[in-house]
Amino acid sequence: MKNILAILALIAPLLAGAQESAPRLQEDPRAARFRDVERGLFVGMEAGYMAFTDTPTEDPAKFPYAGKAGGSAGGLMVGLTLGMDFGNRLSLAVYGQGGNQKGSSNYGAFSLFAGGLDARVALFGWTDRNDWERFFFYVHGRGGYAKSWPEGLFSTTDVVVQGGPGIEYFTRLRHFSVGLAADYVYATKAKASGYAIYPTVRYTF
């Protein structure tokens, strides 16, 4: 018995050293190495249709044939955004957008460009089978300084605010999302109401 104990006492340090020198097990190859949905700094593009239900004339003396108003007007709108996600629910961005609006034949057409700040809050999110939130319903609002050409027709300078609901889907390409937004639009100086409907594409770094 004493011999057995002596042998165990001798080989115990050797066993401990062998255990320490044994290579560590490799990480599970099935473990995810990247997030399925990226969040952070992003750039986005939007393009769609914007219209005003009424187009008042800012300077009737300069545009006598336009009358006091040109009725409804609409046309293509494109925009760019640069912003940051703060978690899965809130994002803030700066935006710039512009487009052409075509009114009645007497009123003519005008260009409207605006830029400012945009805030978005996702109210609901749905998860996929891997428990990643990919589909969101959100509301957003934006406002910014706007200029219009030709000067004196619609509103040479203005503040345009807009906002409304939207949906966004984060694709399995990780960095890309696509969506659709519908906004109420109001030009505060011209006192003109309108709407905008536009798809969105976003890339998150």
Domains in the chain, please, with CATH?
Answer: 38-204 (2.40.160.20)
pLDDT greater at residue 19 or residue 157: 157
Percent of the chain at pLDDT exceeding 70: 83
> Does residue 165 have a pLDDT over 50?
yes
Please answer whether residues 186 and 142 qualify as being in contact, where contact means their C-beta atoms are separated by less than 8 angstroms.
no
Percent of the chain at pLDDT exceeding 90: 70
> Does residue 22 have a pLDDT over 50?
no
pLDDT greater at residue 117 or residue 19: 117
pLDDT digits (tens, 9 = 90+) for 181-197: 999 999 999 999 999 99
Please answer whether residues 166 and 177 qualify as being in contact, where contact means their C-beta atoms are separated by less than 8 angstroms.
no
**Nearest-angstrom CA–CA distance, 46 and 56:** 27
pTM score, whole prediction:
0.79
Spell out the long-range contacts of 60-66 with Cβ–Cβ below 8 A and sequence spacing 24 or more.
62/152, 62/153, 63/107, 63/108, 63/152, 63/153, 65/106, 66/106, 66/107, 66/108, 66/153
pLDDT digits (tens, 9 = 90+) for 60-116: 999 998 888 888 999 999 999 999 999 999 999 999 999 999 999 899 999 999 999
The rounded mean pLDDT for the chain is 88
> Does residue 149 have a pLDDT over 90?
yes
